[in-house]
Amino acid sequence: MSIKSRISLVLIALFVLALGALKYVEHSVLIPQFEDLERDEAARDIARCRQAIDRELEHLDLQCREWASWESTQQFFRDLNGRFVAEHLSTFALQNSNLDLIAFLDWRGQTLWSRVVDPEGAAWSGPQCPFFGAGGELRTVMRTSLHGALGVVPTSAAPVMVALRPVNPVGRGASAGGALVMGRFLTDPEISRIAERTRVRLDLLPIEEMTPDRGLARLAAGLASLNIAFDEHEPAMLRVACTYPDAAGAPTFALLIDVPRALLARGQAALRFASVYMIVAAMALLACLWLALHRLVVSPVARLTNNVTLIAESHDLSRRINMRRGDELGILAREFDRMMHRLDAVHRRLRYTALHDPLTGLPNRAYIIDRLERCMERTRRRRDYIFGLLFIDLDGFKSVNDTHGHETGDRLLQAVAQRLRLILRASDLVGRDDNRAVARLGGDEFIILLEEIASIEDTQVVAERARSAMTEPIAVMGRLLQVGCSVGVVCSADYATADDMLRAADEAMYRVKLERRALAEANAAR
C-alpha cells in the first residue's frame, strides 16, 4: 500500500474517530446535561405550581381569619340571624367572595349553618349539609382541630381547599362559639386559573387515581419512593409529578404538569448545528491537511520513488532527482543524487576499464564484440546497410619485443595505436567518428570497425592506408623501429555471431600473411 493510500486511510480513520467521539460526547455528556437542565426547570415549574396553591390556601386562610374576627360573625354564632345570611351567605355573596362552601360549626363539631355549591352546580344550605354531616367528606377537617386547620381535602366532587378558624375562642367565657370553615373546590377551571400564573398545564388528583389506563403508571411508581417523578417517554413533552399533602399532612394528592421539551429541542438543534459545523470544519481541516501532506510529503516521496524506480529499471545512473527542498526529503534527494553521481563515476570507470585496453587506451575485444552485434542487427533490418571489419596483425613485433625489451614493445604498441587513430581521423570514407572504431584484441592484434560505408571497396582503401602507415619507421624511446602489418578484411554478411565474424577476419588476415610470406620467399629465390 502506498504512502498516499496510508495517509488517506489514517485521515479517514481520524475523521471517523473524531465523529464517533463527537457523537459519544453529544449523547453521553451534552444531551444528558440538557435533560438535567430540563428536569431542573420542570422541578422549578412544579414547585411554583405548589407555591401557587399554597398562596391560594394562604389567601383563603386570611379570608377565613378576617371573617372570624368580625363581630357580625360572632353574633351569627349566637343567634343565626337571617340578616347575616342575606348579606354575607347568599350564593351570590359567596361567588363574589370566591367561595364554594362555608360552614359554621359549634365546639362539638356540629354544623350550625352551612352553604355549599358543588362543581356540578348543586347547592345546599342550612344545618344539614352532606359534606359536614355524619360520614361527610369534610369531617376530616373537623377531627383535625377546631382551633385551626388549613389544607386540601379529597371529596367525591373534587378536591377542596379548606381553611378553618375558631370564632369566640374558649377563653372569653361565651357559650356560643365554634369554628368558621371556608372552602373552594379545585375544579379544572380553578386549577387552570392557578396554572396561568406559572404558565404550565397543571392537574391535581388523588394519588390512587394515577392508574395505568391514564398513562400515569411511571409517575405513580416514581412517587412511591420520591416526592417528585419524571416521565420522559414522550419526545415532545416532559410530564412531572410531585406529592401534595392533604389537610392532615399526608401525601394524598399529586400535582402533575406537562412541560414542552423546548429546552431539549433547542439543545438538540444547537448540537445538530454545531455537529454539522464541526463536521464541515473537520472535513475542511482534513482536506487542507491532506493537501499539505500531499504537497510536503506524498508528492516528494512519490517523486523520489518514481526516480529510483526509473533508475532501477533503466540502469541509467546519470539520472538525477534535482529536488530543491530544505527539509529532510530535500536532504535525502540531494544525498541520493550525490550517491548516484559517485556510482555513475565509478560505473563509468569500471565500464571504461572493462571495455578498453589499459596499455593503448583503445577499446578492447568486449567493446568491439558489442559494436559488431549491433551492426549485425542493423544488417538484418536493413538490406542496404554495409559495414566492414579489418583484422590487423603486426609483422616483426616479436623480434622487436625480444631485442629491445617489453617496455619498448609496449611503447611501440602505443605508437601503433595512435597511428591507426590518425588513419581513421584522416579518412573521408567512413562518415562520422562514432561510426568507426579502432580496438586492440590483445598482443599485436588490432581491429578497425567501419560502420555505414558506401561500398565494400572502402574497406580495401582503409586497409591499404593502414599497411602504408605501418611501413614507415616508428620512433620509440630514441630508436627508429620498422614493423609491418597484415590486414584481413571482411564485410557484412550472414554471420551467426560476432565471434564468427572475428574468426573470419582472422582467417582472412592469416591468408594475407601466408601470401606475403610466400611472395617474399619467391623473391628471395630469384
What CATH code is carried by the domain that includes residue 172?
3.30.450.20
Domain of 322 in residue numbering reads as 315-355
pLDDT, tens digit (0-9, with 9 covering 90-100), for 200-242: 888 888 888 888 877 888 888 888 878 888 888 888 888 899 9
Asked if 412 and 347 sit in the same domain, the reply is no
451 has a pLDDT exceeding 60: yes
Q: Is the pLDDT of residue 14 over 90?
A: no
Q: Is the pLDDT of residue 431 over 50?
A: no
**Percent above pLDDT 90 for the chain:** 19
410 pLDDT higher than 90: yes
Which pLDDT belongs to residue 216? 84
> Looking at residue 439, what is its pLDDT?
93
Give residue 89's pLDDT band: very low, low, confident or very high (50, 70, 90).
confident
pLDDT at 458: 87
Mean pLDDT across the chain, nearest whole number? 84
The answer to whether residues 332 and 380 belong to one domain is: no
Q: Which of 180, 118, 202, 186 is nearest to 152 (CA)?
A: 186
Question: What is the CA 459 to chain-centroid distance, rounded?
Answer: 76
**Among candidate residues 137, 126, 195, the one with its CA nearest the CA of residue 162:** 137
Query: What pLDDT was estimated at residue 430?
Result: 47
Please state which of the ranges 189-193, 196-200, 379-383, 474-478 shows the lowest mean pLDDT.
Answer: 196-200
Distance CA 98, CA 241 (A): 27
Same domain, 341 and 373: no
Give CA–CA dist 121/103, Å, rounded.
18
Judge whether 512 lies within some domain.
yes
User: What pLDDT is recorded for position 88?
Assistant: 87
* Alpha helix segments (H runs only) across 405-497: 406-426, 457-471
Kindly state whether residue 238 falls inside one of the protein's structural domains. no
The verdict on residue 9 lying in a domain is no
Pair (78, 169) in one structural domain: yes
The answer to whether residue 171 scores a pLDDT higher than 50 is no
- Using the predicted structure, report yes or no on whether residue 3 has a pLDDT greater than 90: no
Q: Report the C-alpha gap between 113 and 129 in whole angstroms.
A: 9
Chain-centre distance of CA 79, in angstroms?
91
Q: Are residues 89 and 125 in the same domain?
A: yes
pLDDT, residue 170, reads 47
Answer whether residue 402 is part of any domain.
yes
* 341, 375: one domain: no
Region of poorest pLDDT, from 162-171, 363-372, 414-423: 162-171
Residue 199 inside a domain? The answer is no
Q: Residue 266 domain-assigned?
A: no
Provide the 8-state DSSP code for 475: E
Output the pLDDT for position 526: 58
Inside any domain, residue 143: yes
User: Total domain count for the chain?
Assistant: 3
Q: Indicate if 369 and 338 belong to the same structural domain.
A: no
Residue ending a domain, among 139, 168, 190, is 190
Q: Which of 167, 190, 213 is the last residue of a domain?
A: 190
Which pLDDT score, from 0 to 100, does residue 332 have? 86
Q: What is the CATH number of the domain that holds 419?
A: 3.30.70.270
pLDDT (tens digit per residue) in 304-350 = 888 888 888 887 878 888 888 888 888 888 888 889 889 888 988 88
Residues 451 and 374 in one domain: yes
Q: pLDDT tens-digit profile of 236-292?
A: 888 899 998 888 788 888 888 888 888 888 888 888 888 888 888 888 888 898 888
**What's the order of all strands across the beta sheet hosting 484-491?**
436-442, 445-450, 388-395, 484-491
In a domain, 399, yes or no: yes
Residue 143 pLDDT > 60: no
Domain boundary among 147, 173, 190: 190
> Are residues 350 and 468 both part of a single domain?
no
The arithmetic mean of pLDDT across residues 166-177, rounded, is 60
Q: Give the strand order in the sheet containing 237-244.
A: 201-206, 253-260, 237-244, 228-231
15 pLDDT exceeds 60? yes
Q: Do 74 and 179 fall within a single domain?
A: yes
Band of residue 435 on the pLDDT scale cut at 50, 70, 90: low
Give yes or no: residues 399 and 331 share one domain: no
Residues 329 and 384 in one domain: no
